[in-house]
Amino acid sequence: MRQILAKLLCCFIPGKENRRKVRDALSRNKYDIILEKITKLHERIDVISKNVDFANGQILSITKDPLFFGNLNIKGNGNVILIWNEDVKDYVPLLQSKPGLFIDIDGDNNTIKIGCPQIIERLNIFIHGNGHEFSIGKYTKKFKGHVISPTICLLNTKAPCKIIIGDNANINKDVLFVCNESNTQIIVGNNCRFAEGVAIWSSDSHAIVDTKTNKILNKSPGQIRIGDWCWCGYRSYLGKNTVLPNYTVVGAKSVVTKPFTQEYTVIAGNPAKVIKTGVRHYDERADCTFQELEELSNS
């Protein structure tokens, strides 16, 4: 096991002297020293770790579900990237890069947390500024989440922002989550679905000013809250102050800019309004019976 670990680590450590020190540390069986050296060599990335499993040159969780990672571009200090494994109540470190996850951080004391196990085809995370937080929960066998190709942006604000996505998220390509004004948040519940091209913005991004009074008309950015089991249709837009209760369906190309309060509804239009109540969506297709829907959703 120690020989496999040595070969794996030396692939990512520059310089013969550094590789020799790691091999010496392994021969002394001082695992904490190894992690300390890795942390120093990965400048400006802080890694918290106790449980790591190495196999076939990939970082695996304790539950043997692979996580694949891509490019890292990190500037600043105190930035933390954590892979959370709930089964062992601990963190698994991000030690290597593989296609699937792109992270660009320019700032200090930012935090990224990714639930494990997880499926990621492509996830782009841009964090510019200080003290921001992004997290996405795990997927379960019962309700499989699938992160296809969304982009997360926390950008250039005077105060920290937060984007929190719950468990079992199914996020299609070209989906945007953006916080770019101070103290804004996007909070998403569990088992939510986002179709291709959905845009979720916690602010207007640019000031709109009254030409007579010079008053900024859109100065107050708002929070966005999305409950459990919500489904946002193709190219829908969720703006600041949006609230979606549990079991809300948002029609394709709808524009949502206000809080809704009633669960089990379909909203649609520009601006969006309630068009049907007392309904919910299932992940399965509609070409089956209700009994089949129930059986498939519970399998």
Burial of residue 131, with CB atoms counted within 10 A of its CB: 0-12 exposed, 13-18 middle, 19 or more buried:
middle
Average pLDDT over residues 204-230: 89
Whole-angstrom distance, CA of residue 120 vs CA of residue 122: 6
pLDDT recorded at residue 95 = 37
- DSSP-derived secondary structure letter, 277: E
Q: Provide the residue type at 170 as one letter.
A: N
pLDDT recorded at residue 112 = 86
The chain-wide mean pLDDT, for the chain, equals 76
Confirm whether 130 is domain-assigned: yes
pTM listed for this prediction: 0.73
Domain of residue 208, CATH code? 2.160.10.10
Whole-angstrom distance, CA of residue 274 vs CA of residue 186: 22
Confirm whether 147 is domain-assigned: yes
Q: What residues pair up with 45 in beta bridges, in sequence order?
A: 79
Q: Which residues contact 229 (CB under 8 A, 6 or more apart)?
A: 189, 190, 191, 192, 246, 247, 280, 281
φ, ψ of residue 5 to 5 degrees: the values are: -60, -40
Q: Which residues contact 44 (CB under 8 A, 6 or more apart)?
A: 74, 75, 76, 77, 79
pLDDT recorded at residue 130 = 93
Question: Would you list the DSSP string of 22-57?
Answer: HHHHHHTT-HHHHHHHHHHHSTTEE---S--EEETT
Confirm whether 267 is domain-assigned: yes
Q: Provide the residue type at 208 as one letter.
A: I
Confirm whether 68 is domain-assigned: no
Whole-angstrom distance, CA of residue 209 vs CA of residue 17: 60
- Tens digits of residue pLDDT in 219-233: 777 799 999 999 999
- Tens digits of residue pLDDT in 154-195: 887 788 999 999 998 999 989 999 998 888 999 999 999 999
Domain containing residue 260: 119-298
Average pLDDT over residues 101-123: 82
Burial of residue 6, with CB atoms counted within 10 A of its CB: 0-12 exposed, 13-18 middle, 19 or more buried:
middle
What's the distance, CA 46 to chain centroid? 18
Is the torsion defined by CA of 22, 23, 26, 30 positive or negative?
A: negative
Confirm whether 59 is domain-assigned: no
pLDDT bucket at 120, cuts 50 / 70 / 90: confident
Whole-angstrom distance, CA of residue 24 vs CA of residue 8: 15
- Tens digits of residue pLDDT in 128-141: 999 999 999 887 76
Confirm whether 176 is domain-assigned: yes
Which has more confidence, 99 or 102?
102
Whole-angstrom distance, CA of residue 255 vs CA of residue 269: 6
Confirm whether 91 is domain-assigned: no
pLDDT value at 101 more than 70: yes
The total number of structural domains in the chain stands at 1
pLDDT recorded at residue 9 = 59
Q: Which H/E stretch holds residue 66?
A: none
What's the distance, CA 105 to chain centroid? 14
For residue 262, count other CB atoms closer than 10 A to its CB: 12
pLDDT bucket at 285, cuts 50 / 70 / 90: confident
Q: Which H/E stretch holds residue 17?
A: helix 16-27
User: Residue 109: which of 86, 84, 77 has the closest Cα?
Assistant: 77
Quick one: what percent of the chain has pLDDT higher than 90? 37
Confirm whether 157 is domain-assigned: yes
